[in-house]
Chains A and B, each alone.
Chain A
Amino acid sequence: NAGVTQTPKFQVLKTGQSMTLQCAQDMNHEYMSWYRQDPGMGLRLIHYSVGAGITDQGEVPNGYNVSRSTTEDFPLRLLSAAPSQTSVYFCASSYSAGGSPLHFGNGTRLTVT
């Protein structure tokens, strides 16, 4: 059972480039989310989805886009990368939106130069 799988593990971008971070889960979880982790700031919610076809903004959504066409996949798109987006990104899923623990992927370390 793979759980939550994120790709790539590492990525370096130049300012202005775009890219997509991939996330897939095989636990049939309805709820999926993206967090970024920065030193001294903890984990902060970027976007989330309570089911296929439904997405919503979290705490720090600017500069990011998401879609949820299937239950399994929840990609995160960086539209025009900025140095402020240098961070570690975690995808997470859970059985429901709240009331059940999140299962995290192994993260993507992104550097924007």
Chain B
Amino acid sequence: EDKVVQSPLSLVVHEGDTVTLNCSYEVTNFRSLLWYKQEKKAPTFLFMLTSSGIEKKSGRLSSILDKKELFSILNITATQTGDSAVYLCAVDLWNQGGKLIFGQGTELSVKP
């Protein structure tokens, strides 16, 4: 059975801290891995990763994929209260009609 596991499930940090969120997967026909940020409403797209070892970066957020060890990490440096959200990891599979397999999410709370 295809599965995606995120850790930790929740995390509390203070502004300015650096955090690392983990996503591991066991799937067949891996196509890509995606990260989303969810603040109360719609998940918003952060990154899509298809190749190992190539870091994707957007401001203070960065992510990398390891296809050999089957995991990805999402790093957030110099955290701000606006980073408080649930971060979702999802895996896209070949020949599955666009179905994404989501992890349970990591709830990040950044305290001032």
Contacts and interface: CB of A to CB of B under 8 A. Distances in A.
Nearest to B96: A98
With most chain A CB atoms within 10 A of its CB, the pick from B34, B97, B98 is: B98
A48 B104 contact: no
Interface in B21-56: 31-32, 34, 36, 41-45, 48
Main secondary structure of the interface of B (DSSP, over half): strand
Contacts of A4: 42
B43 A104 contact: yes
Interface in A28-60: 31, 33, 40-45, 48, 50, 56, 58-59
Contacts of B105: 42
A82 interface: no
B97 A40 contact: no
A56 B34 contact: no
Tier of interface size on chain B: 20 to 34
B74 to A, nearest CB: 15
Nearest to B46: A101
B100 A97 contact: no
A43 B41 CA distance: 13
A74 interface: no
A112 interface: no
Nearest to A33: B98
A110 interface: no
A68 interface: no
Given A98-B31, A98-B92, A101-B48, A45 B100 contact: yes
B61 interface: no
A80 interface: no
Contacts of A41: 104
10 contacts: A33-B98, A42-B104, A44-B102, A98-B97, A99-B31, A101-B34, A102-B45, A104-B43, A107-B41, A107-B42
Interface of A: 4, 31, 33, 40-45, 48, 50, 56, 58-59, 90, 94, 96-107
Interface of B: 4, 31-32, 34, 36, 41-45, 48, 88, 90, 92-94, 96-100, 102-105
